[in-house]
Structure 1
Amino acid sequence: MTRNDFILETKQLTREFKGFIAVDGVNLQIKRGSIHALIGPNGAGKTTVFNLLTKFLPVSSGQIIYNGQDITALKAAEVARMGMVRSFQISAVFPHLSVLENVRIGLQRKLGTSFHFWKPESSLNTLNEQAMHLLEQVDLASFAQTETVQLPYGRKRALEIATTLALDPELMLLDEPTQGMGHEDVSRVVDLIRKVSANRTVLMVEHNMNVIADLSDTITVLARGSVLAEGPYAQVSKDPRVLEAYVGTVEEAA
C-alpha cells in the first residue's frame, strides 16, 4: 500500500495541557474511500484528536498530513476549504430558517458568498435545485419548507450531514453521529452514512458498538491518549487489551 492510498495521516500527534498529555504520539493512517472509526473509553482522547485534526486545537508536536500535504500549521477554515470537514462545523445553526435555507447557506459558504446580504434573495434561488438534491440524499426533501426548530432530533442530525455535504467534502469527520438517538433514528442515520460515504472518506467517533460493527472498515482504539489497537471489528472486538480497557472503565465507574 502506497502513501497515496491514505487520505489522512498523523505522525506522533501529541497534545499537552499544562503537563497533562491528552494525546500521546498518535499515528493514524486513514485509507482513502474507507469508513474509519475512532473509539475508546471516556477520557481516551478521541475528541481531542478530532479537535487537532480539524484545527480547533493547536498541535503540541507531531504532524498531520492530508492528501500528501502537511497541514499541521493551517487554520480550521483553510483545512475545511481543502475538503476535510467536520459535521458540526457547518451544522444548521439557524433554527428559525427552513431546512432548505440552512442547506442553501452551506452551499453559499462553498461558493464564498455567505455574507453577501445585499444581494436580492432571488439570486439565491439558483442554489435551490442543488439544495433540494442534497435534501433528497438525506431523505429530507419532504421537510424542505419546515422550520428547522420543528425537526425531530434524528432529522436534525441528518440536516447537519446535508449541510456538511454542501461543502462537497472529500473527507467527512462525524463526531458521535448517533448520540442520543432512539433505535429507529440510529438505523436511519447508519443507512445515511453508508449512502453518503460513496466516493468519499469518513472518519467518525462513535460509542454505539453496533453502529461501529455495521459501518466501519477499520477501527482505531484509543486509551489514555495512545493507540491501543487497530484493525477490523472482528479483530479489535476480541483483543484482550481492548476488553480490559473497557471493562476497567466500567469497574472504576461502579
Structure 2
Amino acid sequence: MDSVSDVPYIVEASGLTKEFKGFAAVKNVDLRIRRHTIHALIGPNGAGKTTCFNLITKFLEPTRGTIKLNGRDITRTPPADVARLGMVRSFQISATFPHLTVLENVRIALQRPIGNSFHFWQSEKSLDALNDRAMELIADVDLTQYAKHLAVELPYGRKRALEIATTLALEPEMLLLDEPTSGMGREDIARTADLIKRVSANRTILMVEHNLSVVANLSDRITVLARGEILTEGPYAEVSKNPQVIEAYMGTGGAH
C-alpha cells in the first residue's frame, strides 16, 4: 500500500487557532510538513511556537482548525493514539527511569507497545533477546560507552541522547523535538545537532528550536511565528534575510 507515501506532506494543519480566555496564542496557522525533511518552528519569545507545537503533538486541543497526519484527520485523536500512528514527541513517552541503566531504559522502551502498558514482569531471558536491538539504538545515539551507567549519572546532553534513543525504540515515522539543545553547552549542542541529522534518515522531524545556528545547519524548511501568526516560511537563507524576521528577533535574544 503506497497511498500514504504518495501524500507529500506528512502533517497538514489548516486554520489552527488556540484561544485562552479570549486571547489567541495561535491564530489561523496553516502548516505543511513535507515527508523526510527537518522542519523548524522558530520565533521570538511569546510567538506561539510552544502552543503550536503542543497543538500538533496533541497535548492541546485547538479552538478551531484541523490537523491531518498522512491525510488522516487527527484533530481530536488522543496523543497515545497519534503515537501509534507513528508521530512521537520526544520527551513525551521517553521520560527515562533515573535509577536504571541506559541499556535497561532502552530495553523497556523496546518492550512497550506504544501506549501505557509496561511489561516489567517478563523473564530476564526474554529481555536478553532485546539486548542486540537496544545496543544498536544506543550506538545510534553515541552512548555505547555509557550502556551500563545509570541514567541519573549521565551528563545533561547525554540524557537527552538517551531520551531520543528511547523514542527511536518506538520506531516513529515522525519525530517531534521540543527545544532539543536547550540548556546545553557548545560541545553538547554540536553533538545533539549531529545526532538529529543522523536520526532524520528516512524520518520526518519537526523541532522547536531557539538556537538559530542549529536551525540554519539542520533545517530544510523553517516556519517563523510572531504574535501567534506565521510571519514567513522558507529555507534559512531566505528567511534570515526577511526584514520582518530580523526586526522580530532584534533585542529578543532569539538570534544567539
Give the TM interval when normalised to the shorter protein.
Answer: over 0.9
Report the secondary structure of 2:45's partner residue: coil
The answer as to 2:25 corresponding to 1:22 is: yes
* Backbone CA RMSD of aligned residues: 1.6
Unpaired runs of at least 5, structure 1: none
Shift of 1:132: 0.6
Distance 1:174 1:228 in 2: 21
Aligned-partner residue type, residue 39 of structure 2: H
Distance 2:57 2:76 in 1: 11
Distance 1:129 1:249 in 2: 46
Task: Report % sequence identity.
Answer: 66
**Which position in structure 1 is the counterpart of 2:66?**
63
Aligned-partner residue type, residue 47 of structure 1: T
Distance 2:84 2:185 in 1: 34
The answer as to 2:208 corresponding to 1:205 is: yes
Distance 1:232 1:149 in 2: 38
Distance 2:230 2:6 in 1: 20
Instruction: Count the aligned residue pairs.
Output: 249
Distance 1:47 1:113 in 2: 24
**Which position in structure 2 is the counterpart of 1:121?**
124
**Which position in structure 2 is the counterpart of 1:84?**
87
The two structures have a TM-score, normalised by structure 2, of 0.93
Shift of 1:23: 0.7
Unpaired runs of at least 5, structure 2: none
Distance 2:116 2:184 in 1: 34
Distance 1:229 1:113 in 2: 38
The answer as to 2:230 corresponding to 1:223 is: no
Distance 2:42 2:113 in 1: 30
Distance 1:121 1:44 in 2: 49
Report the secondary structure of 1:132's partner residue: helix
The two structures have a TM-score, normalised by structure 1, of 0.94
**Which position in structure 1 is the counterpart of 2:161?**
158
Distance 2:174 2:44 in 1: 25
Contact 2:13 2:66 in 1 (8 A): yes
Deviations 1:7-28 (A, max 9, x none): 1010000111110101100000
Q: 1:65 to 1:112 in 2, by over 3 A?
A: closer
Contact 2:221 2:236 in 1 (8 A): yes
Deviations 1:53-110 (A, max 9, x none): 1111111110001001000010000001101011111224310000011111111223
More helix per residue: 1
Deviations 1:176-209 (A, max 9, x none): 1111111111111111111000000010000111
Aligned-partner residue type, residue 225 of structure 2: L
Distance 2:249 2:114 in 1: 44
Distance 1:26 1:132 in 2: 41
Distance 1:42 1:225 in 2: 11
Shift of 1:229: 0.5
